[in-house]
Structure 1
Amino acid sequence: MNSPDFDVIVIGSGLGGLAAALTAKENGCRDVLVVESEGVLGGSTRLSGGVVMGSRSRLQRAAGIEDGEDDLFKEYMAINVWDVSAGPVERWASRSGDTIDWLENHGVPFYERLIFSGDDRRPRGHCVEGGGQAIVDALVPRCREAGIEFALGNRVDELVREGGGVTGVRAGGETLTAGAVVVATGGFGANPDYLARHYPIAWVPGETFYIGADGARGDHLRFAEQLGAQLTGENRGLRMLNPGVDTMHEAFLPGWTILLDKNGHRFCDETAPYGILDSLMKARDNVGYVVFDDAALRPPPELAERYGDAYKQIWPNHAKFKPKHYTADVMEQFKDHDRVHIAGSLDKLAASAGIPEPDLCGTVARYNQLVEAGEDTDFGKAARFLNPIATPPFYAVEVRPTAIAHTGYGLRIDDHARVIGVDGHLIAGLYAAGECTGGIVGPTYSGSGSSLASAAGLGRMAGEAAAEYVLPALA
């Protein structure tokens, strides 16, 4: 029997792919190839903010933050009402701190200070100095030093399956054989057809846009069809609120806004993590209105500092958050847009936006009472963000969650990142990591850093399992 061209072929060069390739090499594989469809390495990782969620890392302990062994797992499962694949999530979560340490050992430059990833009880967000590109810049040289090869600009057309197992890939008319294949191709946010089909809750023709790499076109879904692999996670992912006036994504709302449903009712702490807002919008027909007044846009000098403190998110690797859409200049630019409503009184604002007048006016009156009392007893927004909505003109910007940051429909894996077939059996020699996996993201995206954390963690799991699978043939 001829030896394969490579021990392991990894498809995709984002964090999941790089982690899988380097781990396979560290676990005894001799010849490892990373195939990247685009002309640049890094996938969507290089475009990310560079926050990696992890529990019980060296950095977390050094910061004096104590996490229980299964705290991350329990909180992750709770926020997703246990509607995820518990096996791989539990193994990923239990090893997440070790994965941070592994990344740090390989030169990923983390800040010492951690942040809250989402609604977690303890800071678990490890911020990378230089963002996602710095992760790629650290790991690619380590891969090259280890002898890992890269092939750029090669989109894999199909996986080769012989004798019940995956034995290689075909790209551009060429076949390369391998002892094992790791699929780390990212999501399908850059493929409108797949978005409409598998993430319809996020799909608004002409408005939905993707915050990620152009190479994220859903190749894993083609592979699943070819091989009979299980898929899971329809309508899962991460959506961010967008006013529809442009394709500039804005992760967080300023604290001086209120967010209303189409009936004019407030329903959350407006400074909540974007994953929470995404989940809440699902129950409200995915339509909301960001309401504020002119004092927020043009605060008097004595209140400028108070209005300038509009975000509870403070990342050491990020400039101070500032509004992107909710500014005087943008409101002036889009004042005639059908999603932007401006009026001299609240009743006229309600009429313009099509919101019941008594409800909108009553909601603002209630909110202003809470502001005056200095405590948001309705939804718990921090007191420093409580500013009255009382200075005309008033603004109501219609928003929909149509900025796509992550897609969660993908290959079902077990707790060793092995791909499961529709017949319930493992597909021999096939592994998956990162955004192309399904069942990891649940109804609520858990917070900043969870996608990079699962990419790195599942990538390491896939690399280990692939190496274990091919090592007997290498002996």
Structure 2
Amino acid sequence: MFPKDNEYDLVIVGAGLSGLCAAVAAQEKNLHTLVIEKGRSLGGDGNYVEGAMGVDSYLQKQENINIDPVELLQDELQYSHYEASAPHLKKYIDDSGNTIDWLHQLGVKFAKVGKQGKSWPTIHTFEGGGHAAIKVLLSHLQENNLVEIVTSLSAQKLLKNNGHISGLIVMDEATGEEREIKANNIILATGGYVDNPALVKRHINFTSRLMSVSDGKSTGDGMQLAWQVGADQYRMGAIQYGGGAIYDKTRPPFVYMASQLAVAATQEAILWVNERGERFVNEDVNDNMCHAGDAILTQARVFSILDQSTIDHLANVGLYKEIGNSPVSPDKLDNLKDEISGYLKQHVKFLTQADSVNELATKLNLPELKDTIEHYNDLVQKGQDTDFGKAKEYLTPLEQGPYYAVELGVGMACALGGLKVDNQNQVLNSHGYPVPGLFAIGNDAAGMLVGDTYAVTLPGSTAGYAAFSGRNAVKSIN
């Protein structure tokens, strides 16, 4: 299906969180707007985000949470090794509280605000999850006919006239038929490139154990459209790793996002070993999920080792440590034993059970596992991790069979960057000047905020930036 009209004030390519925030902002400015979405559903990865970053929001004021924005800016610049754009990051931080308040005024409900792992207390958790926030935005867009949304319609080519964006070619995904749409302003909101294996392989140290947990539509469309009209290729390679994840070659990784076994294996800081059965890191690294992902990828294979006493404790008593980076945040893993039983009956490849450490080592060909566990238990007994420095309270012994090994890969939630933008989110060329009429928002432009690692220290930053950048781009459109 094609749009009703042939000409618009603004065309937004992509109907995820950033695109829908831009659409609501455009509606508030009375701009005749078209939103095109190549898929059949709306909201993109925005349906799955936990919350949005904000500083000095209404909720933080209620909770007496005070953050010095200059201190925060300096901390994030240091975290990025000053590869982040200081002016752009500053504008985002300074307007982030106002962005949260705007979402709240629209009707988006926030359950709480606080930290996630070892971080700044900036994540405003969506009540009902990201899907609920998307639903609120869509309800506002249905109030009048200023904004038209068309699904199964993709952008094929951007058009220019005398150096200025003049429109684009769109294609009906069902029929392959193309049509030209005129517009002097186009916003690219296509979600980055995490679902484009070729681009991911080109810009990071790719292995088969990297698994996208995106919606499958973030294939780098926006950046590739922009590059064709002279945009600068900028700051790629920052992947938002979800830390460790169950490594199953037979099923999509999102199947295990709410798995309690995944929580036990990745979040509870017990014992990780490599393909030889050697411990290689402080397992509490998972407080920074991107650092955890990096650590796992230094090894050829990684297994999380559990024993029956740790399973019993997690299921019946409670967690060893608060879960900082997981969609599952219960007091205890009360379904863990049933999950393990079910997986074993299915004979899944990622889970191995054995009555003894020796048997587990033999099954998985982990020659150093027995010595590793004996040495680790000795560290636990002494109450000090003299190898890697894990906190004493997370030193948990492994002494009671059966023993379990869960093979881990690394989940990728999103890939940031590809386009350089100015403080109005206008796309820049290689000389640092705007491509007139072209804007990029959300993950397509979020490389401006990071270095080579996603800013886990600033939780909610991608969703917060999606909302901020969507509004920010529209502000400069007349």
Give the equivalent residue in structure 2 for 1:237.
239
Could you say if the C-alpha distance between residues 367 and 53 of structure 1 is closer, same or farther in structure 2, counting changes exceeding 3 Å?
farther
- In structure 2, what is the equivalent of residue 156 of structure 1? 155
Partner of residue 425 from structure 2, selected from 396, 417, 422: 417
Find the aligned partners of 1:317 and 1:396 in 2 and give their Cα distance: 22
Q: 1:332 aligns with which of 337, 344, 350?
A: 344
2:407 is paired with a residue whose SS is: strand
Two-structure CA RMSD over aligned residues (Å): 3.1
Residue 408 of structure 1 aligns to a residue whose secondary structure is: strand
Equivalent residues of 1:341, 1:397 under 8 A apart: yes
Taking a change above 3 Å as real, the CA distance of residues 256 and 209 of structure 1, as seen in their structure-2 partners, is closer
Structure-1 separation of matches of 2:95 and 2:379: 43
> Relative to 1, partners in 2 of residues 1:116 and 1:379: Cα closer, same or farther, differing over 3 Å?
farther
Mean alpha-carbon deviation: is it higher for 261-270 or for 346-355?
346-355
Say yes or no: does 1:260 pair with 2:270: no
Structure-2 change in CA distance of 1:97 and 1:286 (3 Å): farther
Q: Verify: 1:427 aligned to 2:435, yes or no.
A: yes
Structure 1 range deviating more: 263-272 or 164-173: 263-272
CA distance in 2, matches of 1:103, 1:410: 27
Instruction: Tell me the number of residue pairs that the alignment of Structure 1 and Structure 2 aligns.
Output: 448
Equivalent of residue 274 in structure 1, options 281, 289, 296: 289
Asked if the contact 1:184/1:432 (under 8 Å) is kept, the reply is yes
Contact 1:45 1:452 survives alignment (8 Å): yes
1:365-393 deviations in Å (ceiling 9; x for gaps): 4443454455667534472x543111123
Alignment check: 8 A CA contact 2:315 2:336 kept = no
Offset of residue 143 of structure 1: 2.8
Using the aligned pairs only, state the percent identity: 25
Structure 2 residue corresponding to 1:309, chosen from 319, 343, 363: 319
Alpha-carbon separation, structure 2, partners of 1:462 and 1:9: 12
Greater shift in the superposed pair: 81-90 or 431-440: 81-90
- C-alpha contact (below 8 Å) 2:287/2:325 kept by paired residues: no
Residues 382 and 405 from structure 1, CA distance in 2 versus in 1: closer, same or farther, beyond 3 angstroms? farther
Residue 115 (str. 1) matches residue 149 (str. 2): no
Aligned-partner SS, 1:329: helix
Answering whether residue 193 of structure 2 is matched by residue 188 of structure 1, we say yes
**In structure 2, what is the equivalent of residue 218 of structure 1?**
220
Using the alignment, how far apart are the partners of 2:342 and 2:392 within structure 1? 26
Cα 1:268–1:183 shift into 2, 3 Å: same
Structure 1 unaligned runs (5+)?
none
The one-letter amino acid of 1:390's match is E
1:429-472: CA deviations, max 9, x gaps? 1110111223434322223422111111221221213x1xxx2x
Task: Supply the AA of the counterpart residue of 2:414.
Answer: H
SS at match of 1:242: strand
Q: Once the 2 structures are TM-superposed, how far is the Cα of residue 336 of structure 1 from its aligned partner?
A: 7.1
1:128·1:317 contact (CA, 8 Å) conserved in 2? no
Secondary structure in 1 aligned to 2:93? helix
C-alpha displacement at 1:196, in angstroms? 3.5
| Residue identity opposite 1:180 in structure 2 | N
Are the aligned partners of 2:117 and 2:323 in contact in 1 as well (CA < 8 Å)?
no
* Cross-structure match for 2:43: 42
Q: 2: distance between equivalents of 1:25 and 1:459?
A: 12
Whole-angstrom CA distance in 1 between matches of 2:220 and 2:434: 21
5+ residue gaps, structure 2: 172-177
d(CA) in 1 for partners of 2:472, 2:53: 16
Q: Secondary structure at the match of 1:156?
A: strand
Which of 446, 454, 472 does residue 465 from structure 2 map onto? 454
Q: 1:51-450 counterparts in 2 under 5 A?
A: 51-111=51-111, 113-120=112-119, 122-145=120-143, 147-172=146-171, 173-199=178-204, 201-204=205-208, 208-240=210-242, 241-245=244-248, 246-247=251-252, 248-250=255-257, 252=263, 253-255=266-268, 257-262=270-275, 264-270=278-284, 271-282=286-297, 284-285=298-299, 287-298=301-312, 305-306=316-317, 308-313=318-323, 320=330, 322=333, 328-329=340-341, 332-333=344-345, 337=349, 340-347=351-358, 349-350=360-361, 352-355=363-366, 357=368, 360-372=369-381, 378-381=388-391, 383=393, 385-401=394-410, 403-437=411-445, 438-447=447-456, 448-450=459-461
Q: Which amino acid aligns with 1:292?
A: L
Report the CA distance shift for 1:56/1:361 in structure 2 as closer, same or farther (over 3 A): farther
Does the CA contact (< 8 Å) of 2:275 and 2:300 recur in 1?
A: no
The residue matched to 2:463 in structure 1 has which SS?
Answer: helix
Q: CA shift at 1:154, angstroms?
A: 0.9
Residue 140 and residue 243 in structure 1: after superposition, are their counterparts in 2 closer, same or farther (change >3 A)? closer
Give the conservation status (yes or no) of the 8 Å contact 1:14–1:44.
yes
Query: What's the offset of the Cα at 1:52?
Result: 0.9
Mapped to 1, the partners of 2:334 and 2:87 lie a distance apart of 40
2:17 maps to: 15
Q: Which deviates the most, 244-253 or 322-331? A: 322-331
Q: How far apart are residue 134 of structure 1 and its match?
A: 0.9
| TM-score of the aligned structures, taking structure 1 as reference length | 0.83
Residues 159 and 293 (structure 1), Cα distance of their counterparts in 2 relative to 1, 3 Å cut: same
Contact map agreement 1:254 1:323 (CA 8 A) in 2: no
The Cα of 1:267 is off from its aligned counterpart by: 1.2
Choose 369-378 or 434-443, whichever is displaced more.
Answer: 369-378
Q: Could you tell me how far 1:260 is from its partner in structure 2?
A: 3.0
**Residues 409-440 of structure 1: CA deviation (Å, up to 9, x unaligned):** 42121222111113432111111011122343
Given the two structures, how large is their TM-score scaled by the length of structure 2?
A: 0.83
Relative to 1, partners in 2 of residues 1:317 and 1:367: Cα closer, same or farther, differing over 3 Å?
closer
Q: d(CA) in 2 for partners of 1:88 and 1:287?
A: 39
Q: Is the 8 A contact 1:70 1:94 kept in 2?
A: no
Q: Describe the shift of the 1:322–1:52 C-alpha distance in structure 2 as closer, same or farther (beyond 3 A).
A: farther
Q: Deviations over 1:24-58 (max 9, x none)?
A: 343x4531221111222212112x14311212211
